[in-house]
Homo-oligomer: A and B are copies of this chain.
Amino acid sequence: MARVNQTEIAILGALSIEPMTGYALREGIRDVLGHFWSESFGQIYPALAELERAGLVERAQGDRPGASVFSLTAAGLTRLEARLAEPISATPPRNGLLLRLFFGRHLGPEACKSLIRARRAEAEHQLAELAQIRAANARVPDLTGDRAYWTLTILAGEHGAQATIAWADAALAELEGLSPPTEPRKDHS
């Protein structure tokens, strides 16, 4: 897996858009970067504490008692630029659906088809969500000059989801030929 701490990039990047609390950071990452990134609280809070110690972010009192609003320091911005320029560490692939389909003979064609249909529905749902994100992206004023870059990630999600749908249809067609499972399941007359 990624040798480098990419959580840092996500946090510094998010704070480069606007200062926020750890909680809001997680919400934002889930809602905005959700289709290509994720972070859990268990990562965010320790990471924020460490970034603060390193002087890359600053903690300010928030509205509510106990709430801290974090913002990027000048050093933090420099660090973000450096981290973004690092080579991308590719995550080793781990696709649970394809693993099951590869050994699909032991599942039978019908079970495989329903896995594929579920994946197709998921992609359809993703597409609908991306349309929402796309609309939101077009709506807000582009104060920071980020919009074009955000569009790239939306495009990626859309292309991926469309490819998944096309694949699912081709895969279902491919399985049409296989009526009787190689190993008939639960058919001990």
The residues of A with any CB-CB pair to B shorter than 8 Å are 2, 6, 9-10, 13, 16, 33-38, 77, 80-81, 84-85, 88-107, 111-112, 115-116, 144-146, 148-153, 155-156, 159-160, 162-164, 166-167, 170-171, 174-175, 177-178, 182
Q: What are the residues of chain B within 8 A of A153 when measuring CB–CB?
A: 98, 101-102
Assess the B98–A38 pair: CB atoms within 8 A: no
5 CB contacts below 8 A, A to B, read: A37-B99, A80-B106, A105-B146, A152-B174, A159-B170
Return A163 CB to nearest CB of chain B, in Å. Answer: 3
Across the interface, which residues of B come within 8 angstroms of A16, CB to CB? 103, 106
A88 surroundings in chain B (CB, below 8 A): 96-97, 100, 115
Contact B99 A10 (CB under 8 A): yes
User: B98 and A84: CB pair below 8 A?
Assistant: no
> In the docked arrangement, what's the CA distance between A33 and B105, Å?
16
In whole angstroms, what is the CA distance A186 to B95 when docked?
41
Interface of A is mostly: helix
Note all chain B residues with C-beta closer than 8 A to A105.
Answer: 144-146, 149
> Is A96 in contact with B89, judged by CB distance below 8 angstroms?
yes
Give chain B nearest CB distance to A25 CB in angstroms: 14
Decide: A164 and B174 in contact? CB cutoff 8 A. Answer: no
Q: Which 5 pairs across A and B sit closest by C-beta, in order of nearness?
A: A163-B163, A104-B149, A13-B103, A159-B167, A38-B92
Chain B residue nearest in CB terms to A163: B163
| Inter-chain contact A171/B156, CB cutoff 8 Å | yes
Q: Are A98 and B174 in contact (CB under 8 A)?
A: no
Establish whether residues B163 and A148, one from each chain, have CB atoms under 8 Å apart when the complex forms: no
**A94 CA to B159 CA in the complex, in Å?**
17
Are B152 and A171 in contact, with the CB atoms below 8 A?
yes
Chain B residues, CB < 8 A from A77? 106
